[in-house]
């Protein structure tokens, strides 16, 4: 900077940061520190070379960890903005600065402070939707549990933001619905294992799971709206077995619990989920869809037979019988087998006619 003219904007901004903004960060006045944090955040975004952001990212973390709530919120917003704009590939003690920022952001989503929790959740949703961070199942599970957690029941801003994010994210790409598929069992596992002291134990598990089934339902997203985003959207192109795969995992867990007599997945709320499973139509039962459908039929038969052999499992048996009946109704008859049956019937009729004729001759 020494070789640049004094009226160069970068020289002016650099001088302001060093002589005014950074000094303001250590002021005893909350108002002064607040303005200083906002100024530093704005300058980080203006510096397209990302040097300022990389150099000062950890300052925002210090504010987030040590300052008052008002300034923590500003620092948290600054971190989200930086992650939206820059990669921040610098390492700190062998760990990526970007990863450090993401961990802090995720931790804030579990904060007891409602405002901090909401700001963090909004930031994570924004980063996931824009593709700035991977849509890993762990992150989505955290958002799903936060959305349904009774402690956020009065947080209108949080509920409103996430209620927009989930369906918009699921509708934007088919791969995003696969992400929600991966969230299904981990989410249910957390709810099943929630201790009585946890607010999550108050939830009706079937409601949460039906919510996930709606997000992954291939029939819930119209062809027109999906094609408008440049993606194939017809059911012929989509993987229509997503619910069948969820059902496979669920029934496998039911079998494990029946064999171990733990009963965790046998509560009525879990078995109700089978009613929300959307199965492929007969026309779609071909290729991978037919294979998954046959696997599901076999595993459901096994679970049904196992439940029938256990005492006091009538409710489970009824649920499995109902689901098994749905699976059987979707099976396409094998044309070869059908022809064999018709041939056998025809041979039987011919034999009966021949026998009748012989009896008539003898009578004559």
Question: Residue 195: what are its φ and ψ, rounded to 5°?
Answer: -65, 160
40-90, pLDDT tens digit by residue? 999 888 887 788 888 888 999 999 999 999 999 999 999 999 999 998 877
Say whether 180 sits in a helix, a strand or coil: helix
Comparing 166-175, 222-231, 298-307, 315-324, which segment has the lowest mean pLDDT? 222-231
pLDDT-based confidence at residue 135 (cuts at 50, 70, 90): confident
pLDDT over threshold 60, residue 356: no
**Is residue 337's pLDDT more than 60?**
no
- Residue 259 — pLDDT band, cuts 50, 70, 90? confident
What's residue 342's pLDDT? Answer: 38
**Strand, coil or helix: what is 28?**
coil
Q: Measure the CA–CA gap between 307 and 258, rounded to whole angstroms.
A: 7
Helix axis angle, 174-193 to 156-172, nearest 10°:
130
pLDDT band at 225 (very low <50, low <70, confident <90, very high): very low
Residue 6 clears pLDDT 60, i.e. is over it: no
pLDDT (0 to 100) of residue 287: 63
pLDDT band at 285 (very low <50, low <70, confident <90, very high): low
Instruction: State the angle between helix axes of 30-46 and 9-16 in degrees (0 to 180), rounded to the nearest 10.
Output: 150
Per cent of the chain over pLDDT 90 is: 48
**pLDDT for 181 beyond 60:** yes
Write down the pLDDT at residue 271.
73
Give the sign of the dihedral formed by CA 32, CA 35, CA 36, CA 37: positive
**Segment 269-274 mean pLDDT:** 79
363 has a pLDDT exceeding 70: no
pLDDT at 253 over 90: no
Say yes or no to pLDDT of 127 above 60: yes
Whole-number percent of the chain with pLDDT over 70? 78
Average pLDDT in the chain? 81
Q: Is the model more confident about 358 or about 237? A: 358
Q: What is the mean pLDDT of residues 237-242?
A: 68
Q: What was the pLDDT predicted at 324?
A: 93
Terminal Cα-to-Cα distance of the chain (whole angstroms): 125
| 21 or 147: which leads in pLDDT | 147
Instruction: Tell me the pLDDT tens digit for each residue of 30-53.
Output: 999 999 999 999 988 888 778 888
Q: What is each CA distance from 230 to 129, 132, 164, 179, 244, in whole angstroms?
A: 16, 20, 21, 19, 26
Q: Residue 91 — φ and ψ, nearest 5°?
A: -105, 145
Find all residues with CB under 8 Å of 199, minimum gap 6, and list them: 149, 150, 151
**Which has more confidence, 208 or 11?**
208
pLDDT at 207: 92
pLDDT at position 4, please?
56
Q: Is the pLDDT of residue 184 over 50?
A: yes
**0.75 surpassed by pTM:** yes
Q: Which residue has the higher pLDDT, 95 or 269?
A: 95
């Amino acid at each position: 900077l020494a070789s640049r003219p004094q009226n160069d904007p970068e020289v002016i901004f650099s001088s302001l940061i060093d002589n005014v903004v950074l000094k303001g960060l250590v002021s005893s006045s909350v108002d002064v520190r607040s303005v200083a944090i906002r100024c530093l955040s704005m300058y980080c975004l203006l510096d397209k070379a990302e040097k300022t952001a990389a150099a000062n990212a950890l300052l925002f973390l210090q504010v987030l960890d040590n300052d008052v709530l008002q300034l923590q919120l500003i620092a948290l917003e600054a971190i989200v903005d930086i992650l939206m704009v820059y990669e921040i590939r610098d390492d700190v003690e062998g760990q990526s600065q970007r990863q450090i920022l993401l961990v802090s952001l995720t931790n804030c989503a579990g904060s007891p402070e409602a405002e901090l929790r909401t700001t963090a959740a909004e930031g994570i949703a924004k980063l996931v939707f824009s593709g700035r961070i991977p849509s890993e199942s762990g992150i989505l599970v955290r958002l799903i549990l936060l959305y349904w957690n009774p402690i956020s029941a009065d947080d209108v801003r949080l509920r409103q933001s996430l209620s927009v994010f989930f369906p918009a994210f699921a509708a934007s790409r088919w791969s995003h619905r696969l992400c929600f598929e991966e969230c299904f069992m981990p989410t249910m596992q957390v709810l099943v294992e929630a201790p009585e002291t946890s607010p999550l134990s108050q939830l009706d598990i079937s409601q949460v799971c039906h919510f996930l089934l709606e997000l992954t339902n291939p029939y819930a997203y119209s062809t027109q709206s999906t094609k408008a985003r440049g993606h194939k959207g017809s059911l012929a192109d989509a993987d229509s077995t997503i619910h069948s795969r969820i059902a496979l995992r669920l029934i496998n867990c039911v079998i494990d619990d029946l064999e171990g007599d733990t009963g965790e997945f046998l509560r009525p709320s879990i078995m109700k989920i089978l009613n929300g499973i959307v199965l492929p139509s007969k026309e779609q039962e071909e290729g991978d869809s037919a294979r998954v459908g046959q696997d599901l039929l076999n595993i459901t038969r096994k679970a049904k037979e196992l439940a029938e052999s256990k005492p006091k499992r009538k409710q489970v048996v009824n649920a499995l019988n109902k689901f098994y009946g749905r699976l059987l109704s979707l099976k396409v008859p094998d044309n070869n087998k059908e022809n064999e049956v018709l041939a056998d019937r025809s041979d039987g009729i011919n034999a009966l006619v021949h026998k009748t004729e012989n009896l008539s001759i003898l009578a004559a």
